[in-house]
Amino acid sequence: MTFFGPRGSRPVNGPDFGEFGGDTAMVVIDGGLEPILLDLGTGLAGYSRRLAQGGELRASCLLSHYHFDHIQGLPFFPEIDCSGNSLTIFAPDVGADPLDALFAPPYFPVSPFEFRGRVKVCSIPEGHFELAGSEAQVTALAVPHTDTAYGYRIEIGGVAVCYIPDHQAPPSRDYFADNAIELAYEADLVIHDAQYTLAEFEGKREWGHSTHFYAVDLALAARAKRVALFHHDPSHSDSQLLAMEAEVRDAFSERDIAIFAARQGQSLQL
């Protein structure tokens, strides 16, 4: 699996963001027959550059929610403008399709649903299902956020990845939503919202996100093996993210869990 976009809220660039990257949420799992895309942020552009130009693509996307930083890469993904290619997007059921409404005039000039490839959105309820094309077992459950949002658990060949990119931590930060624990339970990797420092969270308790400490606390409560700090705040430079990573590693140094802050372009073999 590869992190193509670990950033939250909006993309950033410049010398202060070279190590962790500036593209918004997008991760790819290549564990089965067909790739699984986790969200559709601006990291899609980096994924496109990795693909063979003009090559075939049949992929599924597990979309956590419809906030703009998680969808803004879709109309700039050239692979869906190639005949024969397909992208099936599984997303929370919020009624009318927001993608079709957003990527149309007067908000956007060209709809990706009119490209030469096939883009299909499947609104799904909470529960379990199989992605036949990738041989993955998927669990989709709602997690606390400002709007309807899903977390996902993806299992392939006995390996489990939990993806909770946006997660409203409780103000006290001392308990965990049952759905979040279920998704993360004994996972090989938990990718979790870690947007705020403890000090930042005090002023943004209802902004829909978590701290780096809460991400690790949840992973430990779920007995996970690894946790990737994700959805980095756009104001956090490389030096700040390195400090946050070091802070939680030091605080949990005696606990049996691997901790790292996700870096753009970073690949893992699980």
pLDDT in tens, 5-50: 999 999 999 999 999 999 999 999 998 789 999 999 999 999 999 9
Q: Which domains, and CATH codes, for the chain?
A: 2-261 (3.60.15.10)
Question: Please, what is the Cα angle at 207 between 255 and 250, to 5 degrees?
Answer: 20
Which residues lie below 8 Å from residue 218, measured CB to CB, with a gap of 6+?
Answer: 176, 180, 181, 184, 190, 192, 210
Outline where 198-237 has alpha helix (H): 198-203, 212-221
Q: What share of the chain is helix, strand, coil (3-state, %, to 5)?
A: 25, 30, 50
Question: Phi/psi of residue 164, each to 5°?
Answer: -130, 85
Name the average pLDDT for the chain: 95
Judged against a pLDDT cut of 90, whether residue 263 lies above it is answered with: yes
pLDDT in tens, 149-176: 999 999 999 999 999 999 999 999 999 9
DSSP bridge pairs for 129: 138
pTM > 0.95: yes or no? yes
* DSSP annotation string for 82-132: STT-EEEEEEE--SS-HHHHHSSTTT-SS-GGGSSSEEEEEEE-SEEEEET
Rounded-to-integer distance, Cα 95 and Cα 264, Å: 33
Instruction: Answer yes or no: are the C-beta atoms of 197 and 211 closer than 8 Å.
Output: yes
Question: Phi/psi of residue 86, each to 5°?
Answer: -150, 145
Note the residue count of the chain: 270
Amino acid letter at 109? P
* pLDDT of the residue at 53: 66
Rounded-to-integer distance, Cα 215 and Cα 55, Å: 37
Task: Of 76, 70, 79, 13, give the one whose Cα is nearest residue 38.
Answer: 70
Q: What is the 3-state secondary structure (H, E, C) of 125-192?
A: CCEEEEECCCCEEEEEEECCCCCCCEEEEEEECCEEEEEECCCCCCCCCCCCCHHHHHHHCCCCEEEE
Question: Phi/psi of residue 8, each to 5°?
Answer: -115, 160
pLDDT in tens, 42-72: 999 999 999 876 678 999 999 999 999 999 9
pLDDT in tens, 113-143: 999 999 999 999 999 999 988 889 999 999 9
